[in-house]
Amino acid sequence: MKAGYVYILTNKPNGTLYLGVTSNLQKRVWEHKQKVVEGFSKKYDLDRLVWYEAYDDITDAIVREKQMKKWERSWKLKRIREMNPEWLDLHEAL
């Protein structure tokens, strides 16, 4: 069983949000910061990790990501504020 993470990136408080899933959060956020992968996060300069959830099984993380992609923006913002009210970059603490 492989662990997994659901995470949210932004570029500033209350800015554009990117929701993703990965099995290696530290590496994946580093890739976002280095602009290694083309796509939405690179286009909008989204590299500040502001929220994440850890799962023992990557399958559970994938299910959660799919659920959250259907959420209203306000629900995601609430989750961020609950975990990280100052919108700090949590990558440094990983």
- What's the chain's average pLDDT? 97
- For residue 1, what pLDDT is reported? 85
- For residue 61, what pLDDT is reported? 98
The angle subtended at Cα 73 by Cα 76 and Cα 16, nearest 5°, is 95
- CATH code of 4-93, in short, is 3.40.1440.10
Sign of the torsion angle spanned by Cα atoms 17, 60, 52, 49: negative
Amino acid identity at 50: V
What residues does each domain of the chain span? Answer: 4-93
Amino acid identity at 1: M
Give the model's confidence band at 94: pLDDT under 50 very low, under 70 low, under 90 confident, else very high: confident
Q: What is the pLDDT of residues 15-46, one digit of tens each?
A: 999 999 999 999 999 999 999 989 999 999 99
Residue 15 CB contacts under 8 Å (≥ 6 apart), including other chains = 46
Asked whether the whole model's pTM tops 0.85, one would answer yes
Residue 70 CB contacts under 8 Å (≥ 6 apart), including other chains = none
Q: What is the pLDDT of residues 46-59, one digit of tens each?
A: 999 999 999 999 99
